Amino acid sequence: QDDGYYHAEVIPIIQSIEEDRKRLTFYIKEGDQAKIKVVNFEGMQVVTKKEIFKVIATREWIPLISLITDAGLLKREELANDVERIREVYMNRGYLNVQVSQPVIELTPDKKWFYVTFTIVEGEPYTVREVGVRGNTVFEEDELKADMSIRAGQVFQRAKIRDEITRITDLYGARGYAFTEVTPSISSDAQSRTATILFHIKEGNLIRVREIRITGNDRTRDNVIRRELRLNEQDVIDTVA
């Protein structure tokens, strides 16, 4: 029933094999699987249903199309992920404090259809007040912010924060800091509806190539192969190259 088979039947069949031995077989008749009739988004105003359906796994049953895909089948393991996917859509539009409830699932009396309802409290859109970095010694703050995609006055977008984590990590990796960690923190001001974003950097140690080993080269000498390598022993490692 967790998978929507509310009309499944289990029929036990007992067969005699010998005088004191019998075989028990369960014959399972699954029946039709219950499908999602409607997905509701209560409280949704600034985003369309079409936009949400592009990112979530919980979809409505559409004849013919759903026969080819699994759209319209209830996947309980995806419900919590869908909550986060909906939040992501809103947070990329500046709705920093959006709240999305775990969905309510209702089964029709004939046990053929599900009605799924997500309740959304949108809140208000936020803009970026300030962007900064902390813990940086290898780079000056201006260097790290030169190509930053986040600027003061922009609409807050969580996807851009992830992009910046990757960009800063790559900058350090190209300088030999292969294990740099970048952690963002976000502080919001409800009165001005602005957010301050700080990237906290744990630079780690400079990594060099200690030794290059070449094996399996039966025909070509080591020095010939080493001439073609872009990296030598004691060189600073570049994780981006």
Question: pLDDT tens digits for 84-121?
Answer: 999 999 999 999 999 999 999 998 998 889 999 999 99
Q: By CB neighbour count within 10 A (0-12 exposed, 13-18 middle, 19+ buried), where does 105 fall?
A: middle
Q: By CB neighbour count within 10 A (0-12 exposed, 13-18 middle, 19+ buried), where does 47 fall?
A: middle
Q: What is the pLDDT of residues 126-179, one digit of tens each?
A: 999 999 999 999 999 999 999 999 999 999 999 999 999 999 999 999 999 999
Decide: 43 and 122 in contact? Cβ < 8 Å: yes
Distance of CA 131 to the CA centre of its chain: 24
pLDDT for 31 equals 55
Partners of residue 16 on adjacent β-strands? 22
Cα–Cα distance for residue pair 178/164, rounded to 1 Å:
17
| pLDDT exceeds 70 at position 47 | yes
* 3 state SS of 58: coil
pLDDT for 231 equals 67
Cβ atoms within 10 Å of 164's Cβ, excluding its own: 22
| pLDDT exceeds 60 at position 228 | yes
pLDDT for 65 equals 66
Over residues 18-40, mean pLDDT: 77
